[in-house]
Amino acid sequence: MTTALWRDTWATVMGGFVPGLAELERTVHVAAEAAAGGPPRRVLDLGGGPGVLAERMARRWPAAEVTLLDIDPVLLAMARAGVPANVTVVEADLTAQPWPLPGAYDLITAVMTVHYLTSAQAADAYAAAWRALAPGGVLIVADLMPEDGLPGLMGALEPGPEEAAAELAWAEWWANLEGLEALLHERALTFRDKSPAEFVASAGWHAAAARRAGFAEAGVVWRCGRHAALAAVRT
């Protein structure tokens, strides 16, 4: 199977892994257009993987310059095989700052990305995003994000049956990749010393981290079960 076909199956698996993904994407579009007063001109997708979200944003805003940043060689190859011409794919590590990007973005997204970071790295990412945004720009972080007052531990956030099945499908997708052996070997080397942090924090933690980073406004704009999205505006 080609990287483009594996990319299509990834989109299906991710749709099951993140319930309400289509509604989340609509929330991103509405929030970005409201903040920018129209279509955003420059968009940055952090940890954008194979570029499915970046592609959809680029097609919705064909005049926008969209940049996807990721470190995974497998997903980067899929992104390069599938994104339109107005999407630039950049290989970079979120934990290595400053990011190799020009500033002044109208929209920055991080969908199912922050849980790979430690709490300190996540706080640094909020600060880096603030610096990379234009005044009036919006950052949207979507991830496992329990309601305030609930424990922020992976084990305390047990998935329901549908989510458990989606997590199994996600694991099987990675286990069954064929024809990408060289990329998988490169991926193993890339992540040899980078174990996922499995970081989970409440919506309140994320809002506080955004405010400490300099965002004057931050709050939840979407929720579906264990998943939520926080929008933070740079004023």
Which residues on neighbouring strands pair with residue 44, listed in sequence order? 67, 108
- CA 30, 202, 21 angle in degrees (round to 5)? 35
Containing domain of residue 228, as a range? 3-91+103-177+211-233
Which segments of 37-170 are extended strands (E)? 42-46, 65-70, 87-91, 105-111, 133-144
Domain count, the chain: 1
Q: Does the pLDDT value for residue 157 go beyond 60?
A: no
Q: What percent of the chain has pLDDT over 70?
A: 93
User: Which pLDDT band, with edges at 50, 70 and 90, does 2 fall under?
Assistant: confident
Which tens digit of pLDDT belongs to each residue from 83-106? 999 999 999 999 998 888 887 999
In a domain, 224, yes or no: yes
Q: Does the pLDDT value for residue 186 go beyond 70?
A: yes
Q: Which residue has the tokens 């996807």?
A: 68
CATH number of the domain that residue 132 is part of: 3.40.50.150
In a domain, 166, yes or no: yes
In a domain, 185, yes or no: no
In a domain, 187, yes or no: no
Directed axis angle between helix 73-82 and helix 3-17, to 10°?
110
Sign of CA dihedral 118, 123, 128, 130: positive
Q: Does the pLDDT value for residue 19 go beyond 60?
A: yes
User: Which pLDDT band, with edges at 50, 70 and 90, does 159 fall under?
Assistant: low
Q: What single letter denotes the amino acid at residue 34?
A: A
In a domain, 201, yes or no: no
Secondary structure of 134-159 in the HEC alphabet?
A: EEEEEEEEEEECCCCCCCCCHHHCCC
User: Which pLDDT band, with edges at 50, 70 and 90, does 170 fall under?
Assistant: confident
Q: What percent of the chain has pLDDT over 90?
A: 70
In a domain, 159, yes or no: yes
Which tens digit of pLDDT belongs to each residue from 27-52? 999 999 999 999 999 999 999 999 99
In a domain, 50, yes or no: yes
In a domain, 118, yes or no: yes
Question: Phi and psi at residue 137, in whole multiples of 5°?
Answer: -75, 160
